Amino acid sequence: MVLVKAFLTRKDKPLLIVPFLFNPDGFTVERTNQFTEVNIPGLPSSTFQFVKGGARTLTMDLFFDTYEEKIDVRIFTDRITGWDSGSMFSKLPDIAKGLMDIDSDLHAPPVCLFIWGAYIFPCIIERVTKRFTMFLSVGIPVRATLNVTLKEYIEVATQLKETSLQSADRTKTWTVKEGDSLWFIAAKEYGNPALWRPIAETNKIANPRVLKPGMELVIPPLE
């Protein structure tokens, strides 16, 4: 038996582990950001406003092999995907359910941990594709590959704390120079030219295109 170094488990019940008989030899991590295109009058091309960040997605192949033991490999694979027999097992206690099954207390599948040595990835199991590649003569599958997609799970409180640390949080002043615009100032101070309105409202600027050199503008913190 190959030593187990990687496994999935429930975050709230870490003793319920699903080990991998073969360690994954690698995995892919993907992350996305979503932007919307913003048209600003007077500029030759549109700019982009950040909408939200996307959770990291981890994709890998997990291998299971029970050929030597001559037992059904689904005993292991279904602990991740849920039991193939379907509704007849819907009333199983949570301890016997697969990690993708709905927990009766949470009313949703549980948050999981992917653990590989020192690497710990809090996640939800977004998608799994099973492929059986070897069978006994009686039709029992004994070898399988699971292509697993895990999406990073971060508590709301943690996200709010991180966002607060990254936001502008101090009131500043800006002395207008020749050629300055509110869009340029917002880009410099907030990192986003589309956030010019708080500056205009704070300084009671009716026409955002008219800035006189030497003006002292208050740059408010973002809420």
pLDDT for 87 equals 43
pTM above 0.75, yes or no: no
* β-bridge mates for residue 22, sequence order: 63
**pLDDT exceeds cutoff 60 at 206:** yes
pLDDT value of position 1: 44
Q: Domains in the chain, ordered, with CATH?
A: 6-160 (2.40.30), 168-219 (3.10.350.10)
DSSP assigned state of 48: E
Q: What is the pLDDT of residues 162-198, one digit of tens each?
A: 655 454 555 688 899 888 888 888 888 887 878 888 8
Rounded average pLDDT over 26-45: 81
7-32 burial code (b ≥16 CB/10 A, e <16)? ebbbeeeeebebbbbebeeebeeeee
pLDDT of residue 86: 47
Q: Torsion over CA of 201, 214, 195 and 202, rounded to 10 degrees?
A: -20
> What are 60-91's pLDDT values in tens digits?
998 888 999 999 998 888 889 987 554 444 45
For residue 80, give the nearest of 38, 28, 126 by alpha carbon. 126
> What pLDDT does 130 receive?
93
Q: What is the mean pLDDT of residues 104-123?
A: 88
Q: 105 pLDDT exceeds 60?
A: yes
Average pLDDT over residues 153-167: 64
Residue 5 vs residues 21, 113, 146, 171, 204: alpha-carbon distances, Å: 9, 14, 17, 51, 62
Nearest to 99 by CA among 13, 24, 5: 13
Percent of the chain having pLDDT more than 70?
A: 82
Distance CA 62, CA 70 (A): 19
Average pLDDT, the chain: 81
What pLDDT was estimated at residue 88? 42
Alpha-carbon distance of 201 to 219, in angstroms, equals 10
What pLDDT is recorded for position 113? 93
Higher pLDDT, 96 or 212: 212
